């Protein structure tokens, strides 16, 4: 597991195999199965699929942070750069992420995604989307100018 922003952001591979109780992936003749979230006492109320092809479109996704919401992402396909800024310290970082990785972003960490190829992602949160919890921040532009 890789950690960023003093542990406020984590990136980890889902391990292959394992027991039914674990978050894991299984590759078999049938194809790939990813058990992305399997935690007692935790549910999700926000599930979004999105894709991104920044190389073609010139666009980024995200460019915001949440005041209260923790977000999790599972990369189904592709390669992306996750741009990060801790809104308390203004410290910036970035992470290379790709297919099969699971990312957790804590509240008050600004985040934006830029893909180097066509990418597909699931976004998961135990909290429903609330526009009043989302603060826009043009993170992708600030990385270009740095």
In this predicted model, what pLDDT tens digit does every residue of 2-11 receive, in sequence order? 999 999 999 9
Q: What is the pLDDT averaged over residues 122-131?
A: 93
Q: Which pLDDT belongs to residue 42?
A: 77
Q: Which pLDDT belongs to residue 72?
A: 94
φ/ψ of residue 46, rounded to 5: -140, 120
Quote the tokens at residue 111. 């985040």
Q: Which residue bears the tokens 């915001």?
A: 64
With a CB cutoff of 8 Å and minimum separation 6, the contacts of 132 are none
CA–CA separation, 138 and 57 (whole Å): 17
Question: In terms of pLDDT, which residue wins out, 71 or 15?
Answer: 71
Residue 17 pLDDT level (bands cut at 50, 70, 90): confident
Q: Which pLDDT belongs to residue 10?
A: 96
Q: Which pLDDT belongs to residue 145?
A: 66
Q: Are 23 and 33 in contact (CB under 8 A)?
A: no
CA–CA separation, 111 and 100 (whole Å): 19
pLDDT digits (tens, 9 = 90+) for 43-56: 888 999 999 999 99
Give pTM, 2 decimals. Answer: 0.89
How many Cβ atoms are within 10 Å of 31's Cβ, its own excluded?
A: 7
How many Cβ atoms are within 10 Å of 136's Cβ, its own excluded?
A: 10
Calculate the average pLDDT of the chain. Answer: 92
Cα radius of gyration (the chain) = 15
């Amino acid at each position: 597991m890789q950690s960023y922003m003093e542990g406020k952001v984590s990136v980890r591979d889902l391990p292959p195999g394992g027991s039914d109780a674990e978050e894991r992936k299984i590759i078999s003749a049938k194809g790939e199965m990813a058990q992305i979230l399997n935690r007692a006492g935790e549910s999700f109320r926000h599930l979004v699929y999105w894709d991104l092809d920044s190389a073609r479109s010139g666009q980024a996704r995200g460019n915001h942070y949440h005041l209260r919401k923790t977000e999790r992402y599972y990369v189904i396909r592709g390669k992306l750069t996750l741009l990060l800024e801790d809104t308390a310290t203004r410290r910036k970082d970035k992470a290379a992420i790709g297919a099969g990785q699971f990312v957790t972003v804590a509240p008050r960490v600004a985040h934006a995604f830029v893909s180097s190829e066509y990418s597909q992602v699931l976004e998961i949160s135990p909290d429903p989307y609330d526009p009043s919890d989302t603060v826009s921040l043009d993170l992708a532009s600030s990385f270009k100018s740095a």
